[in-house]
């Protein structure tokens, strides 16, 4: 489109160049013709009709050496000639030798119109098949008092101007191509300036639609920046609405059981009960209250984490040392089931992050491994490094995750019953762990082990060099 537009614009300009040069050439030819005609005016008919003096003068002019450097053109000979006709339009003299003496030129415009007292000029081809053989003719009247007694016509071949025309056209084409390239470059930069932020905004919207929580793109320019900020505000508003609806529904469902237990136990306490039953119901109220408190605390922690888009005060953390500390904290939890712990550390396994979040996330995974391990089972935590990653894998020897639950383990409040107690957890631990790992630009996956009993949780975090 740009090439076609420039071609449409440049063609009329190039056509105008040739006409402009012809006009610029014709104007001084008028002066020359008028001056020469004035020199011949008021002379006797005998002098006017004696061509010998004119012939000698023009031969001398053409024989004279000429080296005129006109810009890029070296002019080495006179390219302008003239002829004289009488009052009847018959050739008296032609300095160029193109017309015979006595030839009738009365029908040519330069002669005919000049004899009629008008401006006479014409352009004729010496060879009709050659468009560059045109010759420009400009006539001027030779006067005797108030009477026109002849015509002096100067003529010049158009080919003498061809070099100027070609050079000007070539220069205009170069300038046009340069301007087109500049416009295309500016258009490309402008398009990139507009489309690149829009592409970032599109990728951002796609990531949001996939359930991710990307950083809001920084848009250049006032209007694009407002668009980015408005899109981010809209996302937050929609996400908060959906978030609140989801949490209210899930929380209401989860709170029904402990609230019903507390209400039932409280109603029974109004009865005349034995002391043992009273103590039992009070214990139920206390345990269900603690369960509610734990649920609310974990929910608040998860809610706070889900609303974050970046780490607060990250620092360097050695993952092997962190894993060993977490295992030491959980060692007492496995005493009753006689759980055996195995830790395989690595060197240079440094990551950058918030230690509390990573410790809580890994602690949830290790606690799940303990809860679903059989008596005298083994919980193994292995840490190793890859080129740009630190990998932490937690495995147990339990029954694994049922097929129907593999897709639901990431749902809030969803929990499987523990093998021994049949009790469920709050169902928020894995959600917290996944959010914490994602905030560190890592990945958490959980699946059943292949060829062994139990489940495997794998954490991949970006590695840093220390």
Query: Helix or strand or coil: residue 216?
Result: coil
**pLDDT score recorded for residue 153:** 94
Please say if the pLDDT value at position 107 is more than 90.
yes
Q: Where in the chain is the domain with CATH 3.30.450.20?
A: 2-167
Residue 457, CA distances (Å) to 8, 346, 349 in order: 68, 18, 18
Specify the residue for token string 């060197």.
347
Q: In this structure, what token pair is assigned to residue 37?
A: 């005609």
**pLDDT score recorded for residue 7:** 62
Per the model's pLDDT, the better-predicted residue between 143 and 329 turns out to be: 143
Query: Helix or strand or coil: residue 155?
Result: strand
Between CA 314 and CA 296 the distance in angstroms is 27
Long-range contacts for 177-186 (Cβ within 8 Å, ≥24 apart)? Answer: 179/6, 180/2, 180/3, 180/6, 183/2, 184/2
Query: Helix or strand or coil: residue 419?
Result: coil
- Residue 347, Cβ neighbours under 10 Å: how many? 10
Please say if the pLDDT value at position 14 is more than 60.
yes
Reported CATH class of domain 315-462 = alpha beta
- Residue 428, Cβ neighbours under 10 Å: how many? 23
Instruction: Give the tens place of pLDDT for each residue, 299-314.
Output: 565 566 566 667 777 8
What is the average pLDDT across 349-361?
86
Please say if the pLDDT value at position 116 is more than 90.
yes
Q: Where in the chain is the domain with CATH 3.30.565.10?
A: 315-462
Average pLDDT, the chain: 78
* Contact status, residue 354 vs residue 311, Cβ threshold 8 Å: yes
Residue 223, CA distances (Å) to 3, 195, 220, 228 in order: 31, 13, 8, 9
pTM given for the model:
0.43
**pLDDT score recorded for residue 114:** 94
Q: Where in the chain is the domain with CATH 1.10.287.130?
A: 242-306
Per the model's pLDDT, the better-predicted residue between 253 and 147 turns out to be: 147
**pLDDT score recorded for residue 347:** 85
Per the model's pLDDT, the better-predicted residue between 322 and 241 turns out to be: 322
**pLDDT score recorded for residue 124:** 87
Fold classified for 2-167: Beta-Lactamase (3.30.450)
Q: In this structure, what token pair is assigned to residue 211?
A: 């359930």
Instruction: Give the tens place of pLDDT for each residue, 190-223.
Output: 777 767 777 777 777 777 666 666 666 666 666 6
Place 89 in a pLDDT band, splitting at 50, 70 and 90: very high
* Chain centroid offset of residue 153 CA: 65
What is the average pLDDT across 218-246?
63
Instruction: Give the tens place of pLDDT for each residue, 262-275.
Output: 777 777 777 777 87
Reported CATH class of domain 242-306 = mainly alpha
Between CA 142 and CA 115 the distance in angstroms is 9
* Contact status, residue 409 vs residue 446, Cβ threshold 8 Å: yes
Instruction: Give the tens place of pLDDT for each residue, 378-422.
Output: 889 999 988 889 999 999 888 888 888 778 777 766 777 666 655
Radius of gyration of the chain (CA): 51
* Chain centroid offset of residue 161 CA: 49
Per the model's pLDDT, the better-predicted residue between 326 and 105 turns out to be: 105
Instruction: Give the tens place of pLDDT for each residue, 129-141.
Output: 887 778 889 999 9
Between CA 59 and CA 81 the distance in angstroms is 11
Please say if the pLDDT value at position 154 is more than 80.
yes
Place 13 in a pLDDT band, splitting at 50, 70 and 90: low
What is the average pLDDT across 239-248?
53
Which of the listed ranges 62-71, 331-340, 438-447 does the model predict with the highest average pLDDT?
438-447
């Amino acid at each position: 489109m740009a090439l076609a537009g420039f071609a449409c614009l440049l063609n009329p300009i190039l056509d105008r160049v040739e006409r402009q040069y012809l006009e610029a050439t014709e104007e001084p030819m008028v002066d020359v013709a008028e001056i020469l005609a004035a020199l011949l005016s008021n002379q006797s008919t005998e002098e006017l009709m004696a061509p010998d003096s004119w012939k000698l003068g023009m031969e001398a002019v053409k024989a004279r050496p000429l080296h005129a450097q006109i810009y890029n053109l070296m002019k080495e000979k006179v390219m302008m000639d003239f002829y004289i006709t009488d009052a009847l339009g018959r050739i008296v003299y032609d300095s160029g030798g193109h017309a015979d003496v006595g030839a009738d030129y009365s029908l040519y415009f330069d002669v005919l119109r000049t004899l009629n007292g008008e401006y006479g000029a014409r352009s004729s081809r010496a060879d009709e098949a050659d468009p560059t053989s045109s010759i420009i003719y400009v006539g001027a009247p030779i006067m005797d008092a108030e009477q026109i007694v002849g015509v002096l016509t100067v003529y010049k071949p158009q080919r003498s101007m061809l070099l100027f025309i070609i050079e000007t056209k070539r220069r205009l084409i170069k300038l046009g191509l340069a301007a087109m390239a500049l416009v295309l470059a500016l258009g490309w930069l402008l398009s990139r300036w507009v489309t690149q932020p829009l592409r970032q905004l599109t990728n951002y919207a796609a990531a949001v639609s996939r359930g991710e929580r990307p950083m809001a793109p920084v848009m250049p320019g006032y209007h694009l920046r407002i668009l980015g900020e408005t899109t981010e505000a809209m996302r937050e508003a929609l996400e908060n609405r959906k978030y609140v609806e989801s949490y209210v529904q899930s929380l209401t469902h989860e709170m029904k059981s402990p609230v019903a237990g507390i209400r039932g136990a409280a109603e029974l306490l109004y009865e005349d009960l034995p002391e043992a039953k009273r103590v039992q119901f009070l214990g139920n109220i206390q345990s269900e209250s603690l369960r509610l408190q734990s649920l609310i605390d974990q929910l608040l922690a998860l809610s706070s984490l889900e609303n974050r888009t970046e780490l607060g005060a990250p620092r360097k953390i050695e993952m092997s040392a962190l894993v060993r500390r977490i295992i030491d904290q959980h060692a007492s939890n496995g005493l009753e089931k006689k759980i055996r712990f195995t830790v395989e550390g690595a060197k240079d396994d440094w990551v950058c992050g918030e230690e509390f979040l990573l410790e809580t996330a890994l602690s949830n995974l290790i606690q799940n491994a303990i809860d679903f391990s059989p008596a005298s089972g083994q919980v193994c935590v292995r840490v190793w490094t890859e080129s740009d990653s630190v990998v932490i894998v937690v495995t147990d020897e339990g029954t694994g995750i049922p097929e129907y639950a593999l897709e639901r383990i990431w749902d809030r409040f969803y929990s499987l019953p523990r093998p021994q107690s049949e009790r469920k957890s709050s169902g928020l631990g894995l959600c917290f762990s996944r959010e914490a790992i994602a905030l560190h630009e890592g990945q958490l996956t959980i699946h059943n082990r292949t060829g062994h009993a139990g489940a495997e949780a794998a954490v991949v975090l970006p590695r840093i060099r220390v």
